[in-house]
C-alpha cells in the first residue's frame, strides 16, 4: 500500500505514475484509504484540514506521484444569461450552505430536487448531469477552490480586527434588518 503524505498543488511540475479519481467528499478528507485507478491501494495521510482539487499531486513515501482527478458526480447545473438572477441563485444556495461551483452564466451544486425547484422558482433553468464537481472553497480559503489556508504569513499591514458594524445598532441612514 502506498502512503500519500505530501500534497503538491496543481500546476507544479512532476511526473505522475498513477491516478486517483475521488469524489468531492473524498477530496475533502485528509485521512482515507483509496483504490488508485490502476487497482493499487493507497492511504492518504495529509495534515488535518487539507483538501484536494482536480490536478493536485500527492507524493508517496515510496516515491510514486499520484495525480488527483475529480470523479463525475450527480449535479444540478442552473443557467441564465441574466447576471442578477445568477447572483440570486448563488446567494440563496450559499445561504443554505450548499457548495456551489460557478461559471460564466451557470452554477452547479450537488443534485437535489428541492433545491432545483427553488432555483427554478428564481427564474433559472436547471438540468441534471454527471460531471466533476469543483465548488468554491469559501471566504477563508485562499489557495484555490478547496485548499486549506496552511502557509505561514505575517500581518505587516495595519488593519482593524473589529466588526465592520455593530449588529445591535442600525447603520447610519436606515434600519438594520436580518432576513
Which of 12, 29, 6 shows the shortest CA–CA distance to 146? 29
pLDDT value for 169? 39
DSSP code of residue 154: -
pLDDT in tens, the chain (179 residues): 999 999 986 666 678 999 999 999 999 999 999 999 999 999 999 999 899 999 999 999 988 999 999 999 999 999 999 999 999 999 999 999 999 999 999 999 999 999 999 999 999 999 999 999 999 986 544 444 444 433 333 334 444 443 343 334 333 444 444 44
Residue 4 contacts residue 60 (beta carbons within 8 Å)? yes
pLDDT value for 143? 46
pLDDT value for 166? 39
Mapping DSSP onto H, E and C, the string for 86-112 reads HHHHHHHHHHCCCCCEEECCEEEEECC
Residue 100 contacts residue 90 (beta carbons within 8 Å)? yes
pLDDT value for 150? 38
pLDDT value for 137? 81
β-bridge partners, 65: 59
pLDDT value for 134? 94
Backbone angles phi, psi at 65, to 5 degrees: -120, 125
Q: What is the distance between the alpha carbons of residues 7 and 132, in angstroms, rounded to a whole number?
A: 20
Residue 78 contacts residue 119 (beta carbons within 8 Å)? yes
Edge to edge, the sheet with strand 72-79 lists 101-103, 106-110, 72-79, 125-132
pLDDT value for 10? 60
- The reply to whether the predicted model has a pTM over 0.75 is no
Amino acid at each position: 500500500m502506498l502512503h500519500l503524505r505530501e500534497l503538491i498543488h496543481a500546476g507544479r511540475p512532476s511526473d505522475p505514475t498513477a491516478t486517483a479519481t475521488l469524489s468531492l467528499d473524498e477530496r475533502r478528507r485528509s485521512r482515507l484509504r483509496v483504490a488508485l485507478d490502476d487497482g493499487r491501494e493507497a492511504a492518504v495521510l495529509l495534515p488535518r484540514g487539507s483538501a484536494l482539487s482536480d490536478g493536485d499531486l500527492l507524493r508517496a513515501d515510496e516515491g510514486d506521484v499520484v495525480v488527483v482527478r475529480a470523479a463525475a458526480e450527480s449535479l444540478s447545473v442552473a443557467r441564465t444569461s441574466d447576471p442578477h438572477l445568477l447572483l440570486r441563485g448563488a446567494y440563496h444556495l450559499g445561504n443554505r450552505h450548499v457548495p456551489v461551483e460557478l461559471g460564466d452564466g451557470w452554477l452547479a451544486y450537488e443534485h437535489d430536487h428541492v433545491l432545483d425547484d427553488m432555483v427554478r422558482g428564481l427564474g433559472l433553468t436547471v438540468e441534471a448531469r454527471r460531471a466533476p464537481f469543483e465548488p468554491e472553497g469559501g471566504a477563508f480559503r485562499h489557495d484555490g477552490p478547496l485548499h486549506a489556508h496552511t502557509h505561514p504569513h505575517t500581518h505587516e499591514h495595519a488593519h482593524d480586527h473589529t466588526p465592520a458594524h455593530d449588529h445591535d445598532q442600525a447603520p447610519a441612514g436606515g434600519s438594520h434588518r436580518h432576513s
